[in-house]
Amino acid sequence: MPLRTRAAKRSSPLCISLTLVALLAGGTAQAQSSVPPSSYPASAPTAPAKALAEKAQAEPPKAAAKPATKAPSRRDKLLDGLMFGSYGRINLSGDLSQGSRGRSVNIVSRGPRLEEGAYGEINLGYRYRRDEGMSFLFLFTLALLDDVFHYDGEVDSKLAIRNFYLQVDNVLGPYLSLWAGSRMYRGDDIYLLDFWPLDDLNTLGAGASLCLGKTSLDLHGGVTRLDDPYHYQVMEVPTTKLTTREVEVLDRQHVVLSAKLKHEIHDLTSWLSMKLIAYGEAHFLPDGTRRADFDVEGLPADFGWVAGAQVGVWGFGPGNYANLFFRAAGGLGAYDELEVPHGLGPDKKSTDASEVRVGLSAYYGGGMVGALAGGYLRYFRDADGIASDFDDGWEYVMAVRPMLYLTRHFHQLFELSVQGARADGLHPEEQRHLSPHVYKFSLMPALTWDKGPYARPQLRLVYTYSYLDGAARKMFAPQDVRYGKSSHHYLGVQVEWWYNSSYR
C-alpha cells in the first residue's frame, strides 16, 4: 500500500469541497471586478470624466492584444499521434428445440451474417508527423477468431494478426503514399453478407498509392505461403553426428500482384455523385517437389488472373448509396489466396478453373425509415475438366434489412433473405440434380448509438426463422442435426460495435 502523509489522512471530502468553493468564489469575485464599466448603471459624468471621454473619442481605438498561443506540450504531441480503434461482435443464442446454440443454415459460400460467431479486433497505431508534411503511420490489429473463455472454458484462444504494417504519406509531395508489411487490403463490402466481392486480399507485401485529385492508382505486390504440404514441407534428415535435424524441402510462395484505378465524379448532377473502379490481379506459384515417405511428387508452376470493375453512386439523400460489382477470375485467381486449390486438372494445375461474380450493395433511407440491401450471383468451375461436376455450379443470395427509426436510439429492424444453388452435376447420394433454396425472416429490436444503417455500438435481440425446401434439407450430412429439417429457429442477443475502424 502506498504511504500517505498525515495531512493526506486528515483530508476529507468536506475539506476538499470547501476549498473548491473558496477557489470558485475567489474566481467569481475576480471576474466581477473586471466587468467593464459600461455594465454598471449609468450616471451623469463629472467634468474631468467628460474631458477624458471626449479625448477617448478623438483618439483611434487601440487594437486589443492577441492572446499568446501556448505551444503544445510534449504530452499533447504524443497523444495527437496515438490511434485506437476496434470492431467486434459477440452473441449468445439458442435453437429453441434441442437446447443447442443457434446454428447457421446457409447453403451458399457467403450467407447473411446474422448467425456468425464471435469475432473482435483491436487496432493500435501511431502517426509520426513532420513539419514539412511527411507522416509515418504504424498500425497493428489483433483479432479474436473463436469462442470466448467464459463459453468453452478453453484458456487458449485463437488469435490472428490482421494488420502489422507501416505507411508513409506525403512522400515527395501530397500525392504519393508507400506502405509495407502484413495487412488486410480491400475495398467496399456487402455488409449484410460480410463479403468483399471485388478486392479482398490478405497479404504480406508492399504497395504504393498515387492520388491526383479525384483519380487514384493503388499498386501492390505480396506473398502468402500456407502451412500446408501443397506450399510448405519440412522433413527430418540424418546428420553426420548420428542425429537428425529439420530441413525445408518445399517452400512455394504464392505471389499476388494487384492494381486498382479509381476515379470519382463529384456532383455529376445536383443530386448525384459517382465513382468508377477498374481492378486486376496476377497470381503466380513456382514449381516444387513434395515428398511423402519414399515418394517424390513434382508440383508444376501455376498461374492465375482476376479482372473486375465497380460502379458506385451516392448523393441522393444523406447516407444513401449503391455499389455494383463485377469480377471474373481464372486459374489461381478463382481461388482464395488463403485456400489450397482443389479440383486440379490432370497436369496438377488450376488453368481451367474459373469464377464469375456480380454483386450489389445499397442503402436508401430518409426520416424514420431506411433499408439496406445486398446480394451476389456467382458461378464457379474447378479445373478437373469434368463437365457434370457437383463441385461446380451457380449460387446466389439476396438480403434486405428494412429499418424503422422509432427514436434516435431505439430501432426496429427486420431482415428478409433468400439463397439458392444449382450444381452442374448430380447430388452424390440422391443421384439427381438439386436446386436447394433457403428462406429467412428476422425480427430485431435494437438499441443503437444513433440513427443510420451503420451507427454503432448496437445491442439487439434477434429472432430468425429459416425455411429449407426439400432439396436444401439434403445439403447437410445425414449425421448433422440440420439434415432433413424444414424449419429452424434462432433466438439470440447480439452486440456489435466499431470505432475508428473501416473493416466491418
Query: Do 220 and 185 meet the contact criterion of CB atoms below 8 Å apart?
Result: yes
Q: Does residue 63 lie in a domain region?
A: no
For residue 260, the tally of other CB atoms under 10 A from its CB is 22
pLDDT in tens, the chain (504 residues): 343 333 333 344 434 343 433 433 344 333 333 333 333 333 344 444 444 444 444 455 555 555 666 777 777 777 888 999 999 999 999 999 888 999 999 999 999 999 999 999 999 999 988 777 889 999 999 999 988 899 989 888 899 999 999 999 999 888 999 999 999 999 999 999 999 999 999 999 999 999 999 999 999 999 999 999 999 999 888 888 778 888 899 999 999 999 999 999 998 998 999 999 999 999 999 999 998 877 899 999 999 999 999 999 999 999 999 999 999 999 999 999 999 999 999 999 999 999 999 999 999 999 999 999 999 999 999 999 998 889 999 999 999 999 999 999 999 999 999 999 999 999 888 888 999 999 999 999 999 999 999 999 999 999 999 999 999 999 998 899 899 999 999 999 999 999 988 554
* 290 lies in some domain: yes
- Decide: 196 and 382 in contact? Cβ < 8 Å: no
Domain assignment of residue 251, yes or no: yes
Residue 304: which domain range? Answer: 174-385
On whether residue 22 sits in a domain, the answer given is: no
**298 lies in some domain:** yes
Instruction: Find the CATH number of the domain harbouring 237.
Output: 2.40.170.10
Q: What is the C-alpha to C-alpha distance for residues 227 and 146, in angstroms, rounded to an integer?
A: 20
> Does a structural domain hold residue 456?
no
Does residue 93 fall inside a structural domain? no
Query: Is residue 304 situated within a structural domain?
Result: yes
Number of domains in the chain: 1
Q: What is the DSSP string of 405-426?
A: ESSSSEEEEEEEEEEEEEESS-
Q: How far is the C-alpha of 12 from the C-alpha of 60, rounded, in Å?
A: 55
